[in-house]
Structure 1
Amino acid sequence: MVGSLLYSSRYLQSIILCFVIGLAVFVVASSGCWAISRRKQLLLLLYSILVLLTMLMELALCIMTYAYIEHLKNNLGTTLLMSIIRDHSERNDISEALHYLHQQGHCCGSRSFEDWRDSIWWQKVNSIAELKQRHFDLAVPDFCCRSERPNCGRRNHPSNIYYNGCLDYLIKTMEEQLLIISGTAFAFAVVQLFGIGFAICLYTKRRELLEFRPVSSSSRQRDDATVMYSI
């Protein structure tokens, strides 16, 4: 839900790359089982190449994730402030994301609750037409209140609303999630490295047996069985 607040192609690219890597791991694992069952050198070599490509994608995901963390620190403050000032009253997805963020983070505004005073929302709810019906100003949205209830945002006292902004909470939350993604991708890359070593070892041993032993049909079958047993 908070993803609606992140105006960055890198965020979307990281998500797409995660799905691509997941699909690639499934395809590579299936091709590896097939290559071993067929006992063909070319298939084993192809499997090694596919594992290597998958590992490179996982390392690319680690790099993209780290770069996006730095991007968050530099740009998220402006992005969140613009969501509050401009988009809260214009887009439902942004409104829902801000509502969720404020409730989970126990916060109000980007850097402080005063950010709402510059927003389009504040101008609308405190317009002359609205004040004729309500007879009091609203300082912040109701989801900024410590105990949310209708029109509770009229009183901007620290006992009633949160004074601290949501920026620090949002950065911390996104960093934790991105570090989990990066760490998982790195762990899979290490596992893929062992897979490459195993495939190369199997390919090399089978090639040696085929080069230095008779290549009759019956002997080749025995060689295949010997290679698979030795590995």
Structure 2
Amino acid sequence: MRMDFEESKDEGCCSINFLKYVLYMFNFVFMLSGIAVFGVGIWSLVSEPSYVLLLSTASFSTAAYVLVASGVLVLVTGLVGCLGALRESLPCLLMYTFVLLLIFLLEAMAGVLAYVYQVQLQMELAHHLNATFADNYNRKPEYTAAIDEMQQDFRCCGATYYTNWLYTDWADTEGRKVPDSCCKSVKPLCGRRDHPSNINPGGCVHQMGYVIQDHLVVVGAVGVGVSVVQIFGVIISCCLFVKLKNYGRGY
């Protein structure tokens, strides 16, 4: 009789079965969001320009790696949540809730990190890019290649202006005043003539800032947006956990 009474009470929009179905639907959407988060993280890493190497901090790459890890964790967690609801397993639901909170923190951290770094980016570029050019060009091959690629892609020369090269330790034995990558039409030794008709006189700092900011906006929006959705998953799983425990179901 007591079981029949409890089952009769467990009806309506907050019943165990209803909460299980809602959790199934949430996990379906949750796993789709995990694929999206993973995809955005991979996209950020794959499309990451080589000149990100010139930044003084690794915040850009860190935010992308956090999203990739979160995406993988989301897929695994979604399966655990579905299994917990299907088998009415209290330990599974408890683990699912805690991992949801962990993913929430990871994605929120990636979003906040991306946002904070946007604010710092222009200041960092203004302070460090010229020194990075001066200290590494023709000394470290990976930096040299990154600087040349950036100057060609953005049609720029130097950090803030082409004259930056005149005040660096960079010296060319073949008489070039600026690297050949500064030229409007790149040819061997074209950097011997630094007139604006031959080279791109503007600096690279602003163009580089715009490109990286665009990436950070996407990373930040996805991280924060998806993390907010997970709050609903925590609420649903907690409600189901309490219901199962109150009605003596689950194990």
Fold match (TM-score > 0.5): yes
Structure 1 gap ranges (5+): 131-136, 211-219, 225-231
Report the CA distance between 1:170 and its aligned residue.
0.9
* Cα pair 2:60 2:216 within 8 Å, conserved: no
d(CA) in 2 for partners of 1:174, 1:160: 28
Answering whether residue 68 of structure 2 is matched by residue 30 of structure 1, we say: no
Aligned residue in 1 for 2:162: 113
Report the CA distance between 1:201 and its aligned residue.
3.0
Aligned residue in 2 for 1:178: 216
Deviations 1:88-125 (A, max 9, x none): 1111111111111112211111000011112333x2x1
d(CA) in 2 for partners of 1:55, 1:209: 29
Equivalent residue in structure 1 for 2:151, among 98, 102, 116: 102
Paired letter, 2:118 = I
SS of match in other structure, 1:147: coil
Report the CA distance between 1:9 and its aligned residue.
4.3
Structure 2 gap ranges (5+): 1-49
* Cα pair 2:114 2:220 within 8 Å, conserved: yes
Matched residues, number: 202
Moved over 4 A (4+): none
Q: Which has the larger radius of gyration?
A: 1
SS of match in other structure, 1:120: coil
Identity fraction in percent = 28
TM-score, normalization by structure 2? 0.73
TM-score, normalization by structure 1? 0.79
Report the CA distance between 1:70 and its aligned residue.
2.4
Give the root-mean-square deviation of aligned CA atoms.
2.1
* Cα pair 1:89 1:120 within 8 Å, conserved: no
Equivalent residue in structure 1 for 2:183, among 145, 148, 151: 145
Aligned residue in 2 for 1:155: 193
Equivalent residue in structure 1 for 2:128, among 72, 76, 79: 79
Deviations 1:14-67 (A, max 9, x none): 344233323322331232122123211232122112111211111112222222
* Cα pair 2:63 2:113 within 8 Å, conserved: yes
